[in-house]
Every structure is written in C-alpha cells, then in structure tokens.
Structure 1
C-alpha cells in the first residue's frame, strides 16, 4: 500500500447503522432472531458496544475490572495433571515422570485400584515437601489422608472433600472447599454454580471459629464446559462475587482465594473420543483467559481407561497454552471486552440474587434438605438434554456427524460413571440399536438434487445410533416406488423427496405398505395427521427430539416383529 497504515482512518459505525445492515442481511427474518436466550436466563445480544457497556455498568465497570485483577496472585495457572495408575509402583513412577515433563501440582484422586500402604505414602510425602498438591478424598477417614503423618508441616496444597477436613498444624494446606463440580455434573448452569459456591462459602464461614480462619483455608473448584465465553465470564464473575461476599462479612482488604478448575466431564463422550481432546483444548483456553489458578485437563479417554499417551497429550494441552500461546502473559486477557464484561456483570447480578434466595430460605443445608437443590439441578439437566436431543446444542461425533462404525467401549472408569453426561442418552440408545440391528432404508424419489438433502439428513439422523441406512437409489415413478416398498426387507423406511412429490407419493405408498414396515416421511407436512390415520408412522425432521423419535421407532419395530 502506498499510504502508511498509521494514517488510515476508519469510519465509526453506529449500532443503528449496523442494525440496519443486519436486517437487510436477514432477508425477512426478524432482527430478534439474532438474540440468544441461554440457560442462565440471560439474553445474549448480537452486538455489544462501548456505549451499551457504559450505559449498563457506568462507574461499576472500573470496579469490576480492578476487582478481578486485584484478586489474583499470578497471571498464569499451575498445571495440575492428574495421576492414573493400577499399582503403587506405577503410581509413583507416573508422578515422577509427570513432574519431569511439566506437571506442577501433584494431583490425585484417592479412588485407586491399589491400597495406600505406608511405603507408598512415605514416598508420596517426600514429593509434598517440594511440590504443591491437589488431592481428592471421600471422607475424613480416607486412607490417602495418612500421607500427612509423614509429610512436612510446610507442605502446600488443597484437599477436595465432601466436608472440610481437619488437619492440624498444616497452615498452608487449604481444607475448606466449595466444590461445585458435583453440581456441574448434575446439570447446573454457570449462575447456579456461582450461587452454590457462595452458599457453601457462607455455610462454612458460619461454622468456622472466625472468618479470618475460614478464608485462610477456603478455596473453590469449578468444572469448565465448552461454552467458551460463558466459562470465561463465570470465572471472572466469581472474583467479583467473592469481593462482595467478604465485604458482607466486614472485610475491606482484598482476600485472594484460589480458583481450582478442571475440564468438564459432562461434555465428554465415549464416541469419537478424540473430539474430547478438542473440547478440552477449548475449555482449557477459556479457563486460562478467565483466570483459573490451578487447572487439570482430563485425558480424552478418561471415561474408560487413560493411557500413557492420552495423559501426555492432556498435559501438553496446558503446556502449549502456557508456553506457546502467550495468552497468559497478559493480565486479564478478557478485560475490557464489551461482551465479556457485560456477561460477567450479568452473572454477578443473577448469581448474587440466587445466593440471597438460598440464604433467605435458611442457607445451603435447608435448600438441599427441602429438595429445592435437586429440583433446580434436575430442571437444568433436563433442559440441557433436550437441547442436545434436538440439536440446538451440538455434540460433534454424537448427536451430529456421528460415525456409525464407532464402537462403544466396554471398560468404565468408575470414578466418572455417575456423571450425567450429555452424550449418555445417545450412547445408551446406540447400544440398544447395535444389539437389535434393525434394517433401515431410505426411499429416495426423483432426481438426486431433489432427494439428496433430506436423504443425507435421515442418514445422519440414524447414524447417531450406529445404524447405516441403505438407499433405494433414484426412483422416478410412483409405480416403481410402490413396487420397491412392497418388496423391501427393511423394517423402517423413510421417504426422501420434495414436498410436492411427498404429498403425491404418500397416499399411494400407504395402499401397498406391508404391515411389518414402518413408513416415515422426511420433513414436516400439514397433511401428516391424515396420513398417520391412513397408516403412516410419522416424520423425521430438523429440530425433532432424536432420542424420543428413535426410541419410539425401535419400540415399534420390536412390537411388529
């Protein structure tokens, strides 16, 4: 370019100007179709501007940004790679290897397939003198806790447990945890996780001898899901909420509390497991930008049996983020983003309101005991599953772009067996279909260009349960279509044709359809109810609940045969 880039000026575009162009691009669709209502009860706008942000937050914006930045010890996170082993010898060797390859925090779940004998615990305790740790135990009598009989009093780390652990004389070990991961795995959304973290903090603060003792032992855990910007805002929002929480207890100084995070298990699938690696990378980046202090990337095959290679790949995700992306060299990378700052403020307001509701009803214990916690999580989980089943939310390799040749593994990692994963209904239904092996076919009518889009949709629809549908080939006459249907050995047939051809074909096909064949149409039609009265089974169409539809089809096939 002949002109220096520094001298180039770009015209400022107003929101109204952008809106005008957006409406033109929508070609008749309402402008409101660009707004997205998320499960947290917040509506995301298609565009955020500086004026909108200042109008919304005003002077609170500077307070929000400064709070988030002041409540961090460092601009980076520590890599907390979890150790997997089937013997104590392998366990100790794995710890040594991971620490030599970039792991920074000894991360252990006590539920191992070997016993925590004294020899193993003594050797483990030696590592605690040099490295920080994150251990997960089941109760106060967990055998792993005996490691502190041999550990230095200067050991530094945190213990995740269902209830706070009493550990005398270990001043640098945090033992009071607001662990939201369980609620995340039960279906909680970001606002609910934040509110529950505060409710647990209030419960433990009230149980402590004094607030100062409580905050020195307290930390919070989050699972980070695939909703990139939502997870960034969630972590940032917690720091703002924590500042408000400590202020409510009369604390004016900044109190830094560690945020310990990990990749979400609920978004993982046993199908096309390498997609889990992509999910983990996305989740790790959002946690890094959001400001997690400790982060664990689960291996892509964590639902079955992690291997040496998968553990190494998971660890390298964090190493690449820290060493090669440079994103952690920036203080609060998301700070100042109109969208993320607005979303952070929305999460703060919504989570604080829910926290106060929980407190008004008697606090966390009462909220749990009266069934409201379970009801809230169940409603959130069911809404999330519906979004996956109707493809409003994509699970690549599971509810869309599924590979029918994928085989479900028989090995189960018991630690995560009870997680309410979004892919689980598809996996369970696929198992039923693979066992039953029903014959499914697509009756393709007309020219290729006429039937291909709907035939491809139907193919993808049944691929989600591990079935490959055969196709009739291009049929060009009604008589030929009737002959093919009368002679097919398929148990379930879907007609793929244009709207006009479908309307003409269905009445004719229903006159020859064998009683043992279920016939559906691809698409939604106003005549459908009349066709069903005449013997049509139903329809396959976009936005349909895949789980409900294919469960009904399999049940009907079993009843007919």
Structure 2
C-alpha cells in the first residue's frame, strides 16, 4: 500500500541533503560546524541516508533479558534475606559478590528451584569450594564467572601462579558441565578509561586466550561482562559490534556459540555530588544495554556512595525495564542508519586492534609488556583533559553546577582511587572516575 504522505515528496539523495545543509550554513565550514569526532576515531555526521546504508547481519538472541540484583556477601544471613526478598519482588537473576568462601547452605536457604539465574563474582580461586558450590546448584542455571586473566589485569597478580590458575580451570572444565563457567570482565577496561573500540578489541583478545588454551568448545562456556557508559547510541552499537566480531572470530575456529552478555552501568561517570543524576545515568545506560541485546542487566543502585539508600532504586529500574521489554529491539537497531553505521565502524576498528594484539603474541603478552595498560591510560588521560576543559561534560560536576551537594562533606568510606601499594607481576588496570579530583576538593575523608 502506498503512503499518502511520502508520495507527496520526491526522494532526495544524500548529496542533495548535504548540498542543502551547506547552503543553509551561509558560508560556515561544513566539517567544522556539523561533524563531530569521537575518541574512537569515528566522525558523527549530521544525517545518515539510505544511499550509504549497509545492513549488518548481527547474531541475535531470543529477546528476553533478565534483571539482576547484585548482593555482597558480608553476612550469609543478610545476603540470603536480600536474595529471598528480591525473588519475591520478581527478580529473575542474582549476582553474589564474595571475597572469601562462604557457608553455601545458609546463603541459598529458600531460594533454590525458583527459576532464578545465579551469577557469582568471586575474588578468590578455591577448587574445593567451587566443587561444593556447583554440587549445591546442580539443578540451577549458574554463571560462575571465573576470570583468572581478568584477575591478573585488575590486581596485577595471579591467584597463585599462571600454571596453577590455568590448571585449576582446566580441571574444573573437564569435571563440570555448567552453562557458563568462565567470564571475560570487560568492565575492567571501561571503568579504567578505555574507549569503546578498545573495550571491544580487548574483550575479544581476552576471550581468545581462553579459547586458544582450552579449545573451541570453551566458547560456549564464557559469559561477557560489560560496563555501559553514557554515550547512548555508541553503547548500543558496542554490544552489537561485539556480537558481530565474536561470531566472525569463532568462524575461524569452525565453531558457533551465542555470546552471553551481562551488562551493568559504568562507575566511571558516577559522582558523589548528585544521587539523582546518577539514577538517571543508570537508567539510560541500562536502556542502551537492553536495546543493544544484553541477556542480563544489573545496576549499582545498592552502592551508598552514589545512590540514596532511602530510595527504592532497584524497583524503579525493574519497572522501567519491564516497560522497555515491550519494544521490538531488533527492529529498532537493524533499521537505524545511524546505529548500523556506528556498529560497522566500531567493528572494523576493533578488529584491526584485535589482529595487532594477536600478531604481537596475544593478550597476555600485551598485558605483561604493559602495552594494554599504556593504551588505556592514554585514552583515560585524554578523557580527563576533555573533562577538565568541559569538552566532556558531567552535569552538576563540571557543567551546570549547583551550589549544594547531596551529602555531608564527611565520608566514612574512602571512595577515591589511591590504595596501599603492593608488589605486582604486572601493572594493574585500576578504575578511575572522572569527577574524583573535583570531589576531593569538596569532601573530607575520615579514616
């Protein structure tokens, strides 16, 4: 059926649109006025047109995402109460964070056989404990998220040693048939200041170390953990570009696997200065993750440093996410000239970096030489300078600043980056927040 509105207008080419824009600029330079260059080396144009449209075939996953609540295990009893209440409130996934072995039976009391995905973030590697955990959750959907390379990148050290850590993973993989065993924690790179192209490339190279070491079948055992920043459309394109390249690389191994993607908001753009704006950032960041095609989304709204504990932030996200779930995400992304163009450019640039890493001996080799750390730091410093000059803005931090803050000027917990020095094998990749230097001028820390 013809469209009575569009039939009234003659189609215009991309060249005609550009010519019209140049005329309307009345002598101003088109490139300097209407083109925006990003840190990824991509130029954002004022319009995108069918003449230049190239549709990519992005691997899709059944459009059902799960909302995940993160729970820190300071006390098994307290963590269990939070988990049981979250399940009653409709949460379909839980992520437990632990720095040491915990009492398994106490933690999971009244929470099993509820059709819940269980995710873990363990900062220790204890083979006996992991066996017990797997045995307890044998009938559940489990994502253990063990990432020994990520631990090396973040802390500068192996849990024990390269040989020991890889041997434990190899033994556990042979003895267990979990849906997801290994994790690639890309959020390390984003929170430290890597740009989007770097994040995609480093995540792929990081994963390739596991696939090369443990075989192509390992690809189906990996969950990818991304942090989502505030560059809305680019973050949508980031996940799509990653899925595109993930399939491309697996083709070289003659295998297929549907990438399981877990997303949570970045900490890099969060601030102590305005809780409300942090909530708005989390909302849009999670929407980027959902539209991009994430399987699981979570947030940081249980972090008292950046969110008001009196507000029911998680329930708010839950309701918003339910409303978003009515959208047909595939239609939104695949027919968007802008998103498709950004996806293609991110993929091409990330693939170039990935190939360079592999030619140079692989991701572990680049970590040991400090190349990855140096590249991330270069971009982080560039962003920090852009933040300082106002080119990169955070509302109520370096732009449209209010005279009041949402907290007293005394903090009981030190939220700032510096930590006690310790001996490391490599330079660790540490998270840095853009607003820290501004906050240090406003807040006092009481040890």
TM-score of the aligned structures, taking structure 2 as reference length: 0.83
3-state SS, counterpart of residue 112 of structure 2: helix
Q: Are 1:132 and 2:144 counterparts?
A: no
Cα distance between partner residues in 2 of 1:174 and 1:162: 12
Structure 2 residue corresponding to 1:88, chosen from 66, 76, 82: 76
Q: How does 1:370-385 map to 2 (within 5 A)?
A: 370-385=369-384
Q: What residue in structure 1 maps to residue 106 of structure 2?
A: 120
Match of 1:246 in 2: 250
Match of 1:227 in 2: 231
Return the offset for 1:24.
4.3
CA contact (8 A) 1:75 1:332 kept: no
Q: How far, CA to CA, are the matches of 2:276 and 2:412 in structure 1?
A: 17
Structure 1 pair 377–137 and aligned structure 2 pair: CA distance change class (3 A): same
Mapped pair 1:98 → 2:68: no
Q: Return the alpha-carbon distance in structure 2 between the equivalents of residues 415 and 103 of structure 1.
A: 31
Change (3 A) 1:306 1:340: closer
Structure 1 residue 327 displacement after superposition = 4.8
1:48-59 map, 5 Å = 48-53=48-53, 57=54
Q: Write the distance in 1 (CA, Å) between the matches of 2:303 and 2:417.
A: 8
1:233–1:290 contact (8 Å) kept in structure 2? yes
Are 1:217 and 2:216 matched, yes or no?
A: no
Aligned partner (choices 199, 202, 211) of residue 193 of structure 1: 199
Say which structure, 1 or 2, has more relative contact order (CA 8 Å, 6+ apart).
2
Quick one: distance in 2 between partners of 1:47 and 1:11? 18
Deviation at 1:17?
Answer: 3.5
In the TM superposition, what whole-angstrom CA distance separates every residue of 1:72-108 from its partner, at most 9, and x where no partner exists? Answer: 1x21311111125753322111111111112110111
For residues 306 and 431 of structure 1, the distance between their equivalents in structure 2, rounded to whole angstroms, comes to 16
Please give the alpha-carbon distance, in whole angstroms, between the structure 2 residues aligned to 1:228 and 1:191: 15
Q: Is the 8 A contact 1:155 1:170 kept in 2?
A: no
What are the within-5 Å matches in structure 2 for residues 449-464 of structure 1? none
1:336 equivalent in structure 2? 335
- Structure 2 residue runs without a partner (length 5+): 149-165, 419-429
1:540 maps to which residue? none
Evaluate the alpha carbon distance shift between residue 99 and residue 352 of structure 1 in structure 2; reply closer, same or farther with a 3 A threshold: same
Task: Please name the residue that 1:75 is paired with.
Answer: 63
1:155: how far off? Answer: 2.3
Q: Following TM superposition, by how much is the alpha carbon of 1:118 offset from its aligned partner in structure 2, in angstroms?
A: 4.9
Residue aligning to 1:156:
141
Task: Determine helix, strand or coil for the equivalent of 2:333.
Answer: coil
Between the aligned partners of 2:127 and 2:184, the Cα distance in structure 1 is 19
Deviations 1:465-505 (A, max 9, x none): xxxxxxxxxxxxxxxxxxxxxxxxxxxxxxxxxxxxxxxxx
Which of 288, 296, 299 is the matching residue for 2:298? 296
Aligned partner of 1:277 in structure 2 is: 279
Matches of 1:157 and 1:423 in 2, distance apart? Answer: 36
Contact 2:238–2:346 at 8 Å: present in 1 too?
Answer: yes
**Equivalent-residue separation in structure 1 for 2:133 and 2:339 (angstroms):** 42
* CA–CA distance in structure 1, aligned partners of residues 174 and 387 of structure 2: 47
* Cα shift at 1:280: 0.7
Aligned to 1:36: 36
Instruction: Report the CA distance between 1:15 and its aligned residue.
Output: 2.8
| Residue in structure 1 matched with residue 314 of structure 2 by the alignment | 314
- Flag the structure with larger Rg: 1
SS in 2 for 1:39: coil
> 1:287-337 CA distances to partner (integer Å, 9 max, x unpaired)?
1111011111221x6262866654x32343243222x23554443521121
Q: How far apart in 1 are the matches of 2:277 and 2:130?
A: 36
Quote the residue 1:202 is aligned against. 208
Please say if residues 110 and 144 of structure 1, whose CA atoms lie closer than 8 Å, have aligned partners that are also in contact: no
The answer as to whether partners of 1:261 and 1:292 remain within 8 angstroms in 2 is yes
User: 1:84·1:306 contact (CA, 8 Å) conserved in 2?
Assistant: no
Summarize the Cα distance change of 1:16–1:156 in structure 2 as closer, same or farther, 3 Å threshold: same
**Mapped partners of 2:233, 2:133: distance in 1:** 39
Secondary structure of the residue aligned to 2:332 is coil
Query: In 1, are the aligned partners of 2:39 and 2:195 still within 8 Å (CA)?
Result: yes
Q: Offset of 1:189 from its aligned partner?
A: 1.0
User: Is the 2:193–2:431 Cα contact (8 Å) retained in structure 1?
Assistant: no
Which of 406, 418, 421 in structure 1 is aligned with 2:433? 421
Gaps of 5+ in 1: 435-561
Q: Aligned with 2:94: secondary structure?
A: strand
Counterpart-to-counterpart distance in 2, 1:377 and 1:142? 33
Q: In 2, distance between residues paired with 1:44 and 1:265?
A: 25
